[in-house]
């Protein structure tokens, strides 16, 4: 496989960076209109300039490639304006949205955080655009509110899943498990042969919660109404078997961890998996790009499968949706915004993006074939779940009811300090605080 430089997508997704924006549209040259961007500047036409407002922590290499191509192909030049990450950035976004000081394009979260912004007031509804029909249904559900669709994907998805050592599986004649019991049986074989069955990297505490959060596919299959009932105060994690299961799985792993799991970091985990020193790591698949940057094509010694459930006929994958690009409903450059959004979702633009950054998961555009250089774990393993329709988005994209201490609770659970039932009860208490802040009837 041809090696290509990829920019690692570093950081902690669980602490979800707020990628959003607001600010005024600007143009270069003479005063431009929303004419759809003009023509190629070689024809003597002025460029239409659009401004994108986005978080400073966003990896921009792929976007920059698309922007260069857009300037050449459709006569639209993109200016990037950044804002801080986290709480400060989120407050700035809301303030500028409310004041009408908003740019043409905004990079922001999908899912529950989008809904909280009242997108119908600020963002262009793209439901009737032809390019919106090419959005993957799972992704579209995360950028749609009340039947209106607002966003296009900035980059690829990623998953909270099991990254596994294919060579070790071959050595011990193991099959990819379809159920959690089968997974634990594989772990028993590996442990008995002196291998690290499951890699723990609890020094970076956010990694401890991936098993619980990544089990969302199985939760939603087992209790389809759980999110609605959770927000209504009718369902709890401790009293819903399908929701409790994620905590039970986290507890099951303790006996299989590496001896230094409390001291090992995420960066250590990338090294350990690349060097074949552990069989499984339950982690976000952004780790594939981190490993690729350090070890090149050794990344293809690794595969990915979704956190197994209890139904062998219904194995699936929990996906984290990418940052999305939204258009300013009140911009003077409406046609140019739509033209750029259409271009950004085209095969030509996606190819340009992947020439700089290889995907950590399948793309959200129907029919797009991943590049030849894509990691095998993405193009073969993860894409198969998408093609089969066996995906759900992570819980954070479905509800704003999230306990702030999830990682601490999961770290205590995974290290054997509490039971699954105790952890679930603590998380219910944690969620209750958030629900009350949101004004929900709990």
Sorted by sequence, the CB contacts under 8 Å of residue 118 that are 6+ apart come out as none
283-308 pLDDT per residue, tens:
999 999 999 999 999 999 999 999 99
Counting residues of the chain whose pLDDT is more than 70, the rounded percentage is 90
* Residue 5 scores a pLDDT above 50: no
Q: What is the mean pLDDT of residues 15-24?
A: 32
Return d(Cα 279, Cα 301) in angstroms, integer.
11
| Helices 287-295 + 266-274 axis angle, to 10 | 60
In this structure, are residues 323 and 19 in contact, taking their beta carbons and an 8 Å threshold? yes
Sorted by sequence, the CB contacts under 8 Å of residue 88 that are 6+ apart come out as none
Return d(Cα 252, Cα 162) in angstroms, integer.
15
Quick one: tokens of 56?
């400073």
DSSP 96-108: HHHHT---SEEEE
* Residue 275 scores a pLDDT above 50: yes
Counting residues of the chain whose pLDDT is more than 90, the rounded percentage is 82
State the DSSP H helix or E strand holding residue 343, giving kind and residue range, or none if neither. Answer: helix 334-344
Give first-to-last CA distance, the chain, whole Å.
54
Which residues in 199-299 belong to E strands, given as ranges?
280-284
* Residue 70 scores a pLDDT above 70: yes
315-351 pLDDT per residue, tens:
999 999 999 999 999 999 999 999 999 999 999 999 9
In this prediction the pTM is 0.86
Instruction: Write down the residue that tokens 């300013």 correspond to.
Output: 328
Of 337, 368, 270, 409, nearest in space to 78 by CA: 337
CA R_g for the chain:
22
Q: How confident is the model at residue 85 (pLDDT cuts 50, 70, 90)?
A: confident
Q: Tell me the pairing of strands 105-108 and 144-145.
A: unpaired
| Residue 256, pLDDT score | 98
Q: What is the mean pLDDT of residues 255-267?
A: 98
Question: Whats the size of the chain, residue-wise?
Answer: 442
* Residue 28 scores a pLDDT above 70: no
Residue 320, φ and ψ in degrees, nearest 5: -100, 125
CATH superfamily, domain 13-156+322-368, is: Periplasmic binding protein-like II (3.40.190.10)
Return d(Cα 247, Cα 216) in angstroms, integer.
11
Q: How confident is the model at residue 168 (pLDDT cuts 50, 70, 90)?
A: very high
361-388 pLDDT per residue, tens:
999 999 999 999 999 999 999 999 999 9
Residue ranges of the chain assigned to CATH 3.40.190.10:
13-156+322-368, 158-319+393-437
Q: Report the topology of domain 158-319+393-437.
A: D-Maltodextrin-Binding Protein; domain 2 (3.40.190)
Handedness of CA 361, 363, 369, 370 (dihedral sign): negative
CA distances in angstroms from 244 to 236, 417, 428, listed in the order given: 9, 17, 11
Instruction: Write down the residue that tokens 């193009």 correspond to.
Output: 379
- DSSP, collapsed to helix, strand or coil, labels residue 7 as coil
């Amino acid at each position: 496989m041809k090696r290509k430089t990829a920019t690692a997508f570093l950081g902690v997704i669980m602490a979800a960076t707020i990628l959003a924006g607001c600010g005024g549209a600007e143009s270069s040259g003479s005063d431009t209109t929303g004419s759809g961007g003009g023509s190629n500047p070689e024809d003597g036409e002025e460029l239409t300039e659009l401004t994108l407002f986005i978080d400073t922590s966003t990896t921009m290499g792929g976007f920059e490639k698309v922007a260069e191509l857009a300037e050449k192909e459709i006569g639209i030049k993109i200016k990037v304006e950044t804002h801080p990450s986290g709480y400060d950035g989120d407050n700035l976004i809301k303030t500028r949205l409310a004041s009408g000081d908003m740019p043409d394009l905004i990079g922001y979260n999908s899912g529950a955080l989008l809904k909280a912004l009242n997108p119908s007031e600020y963002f262009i509804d793209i439901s009737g655009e032809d390019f919106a029909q090419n959005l993957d249904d799972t992704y579209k559900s995360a950028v749609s509110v009340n039947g209106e669709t607002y966003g296009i994907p900035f980059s690829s998805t990623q998953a909270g899943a099991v990254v596994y050592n294919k060579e070790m599986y071959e050595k011990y004649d193991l099959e990819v498990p379809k159920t959690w019991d089968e997974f634990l049986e594989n772990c028993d074989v590996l442990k008995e042969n002196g291998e690290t069955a499951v890699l723990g990297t609890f020094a970076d505490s956010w990694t401890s919660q991936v098993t619980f959060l990544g089990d969302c596919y199985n939760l939603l299959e087992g209790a389809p109404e759980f999110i609605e009932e959770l927000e209504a105060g009718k369902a709890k994690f401790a009293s819903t078997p399908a929701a409790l299961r994620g905590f039970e799985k986290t507890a099951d792993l303790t006996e299989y961890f590496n001896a230094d799991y409390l001291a090992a970091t995420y960066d250590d985990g990338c090294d350990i998996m690349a060097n074949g020193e552990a069989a499984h790591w339950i982690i976000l698949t952004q780790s594939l790009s981190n490993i690729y940057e350090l070890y090149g094509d050794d990344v293809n010694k690794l595969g990915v499968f979704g956190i197994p459930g209890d139904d062998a006929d219904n194995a699936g994958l929990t996906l984290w949706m990418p940052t999305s690009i939204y258009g300013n409903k009140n911009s003077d450059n409406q046609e140019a915004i739509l033209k750029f959004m259409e271009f950004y979702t085209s095969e030509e633009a996606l190819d340009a993006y992947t020439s700089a950054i290889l995907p950590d998961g399948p793309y959200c555009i129907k029919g797009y074939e991943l590049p030849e250089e894509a990691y095998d774990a993405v193009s073969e393993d993860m894409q198969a779940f998408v093609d089969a329709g066996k995906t759900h988005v992570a819980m954070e994209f479905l509800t704003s009811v999230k306990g702030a201490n999830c990682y601490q609770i999961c770290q205590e659970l995974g290290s054997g300090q509490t039971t699954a039932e105790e952890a679930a009860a603590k998380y219910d208490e944690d969620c209750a605080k958030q629900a009350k802040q949101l004004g929900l009837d709990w």
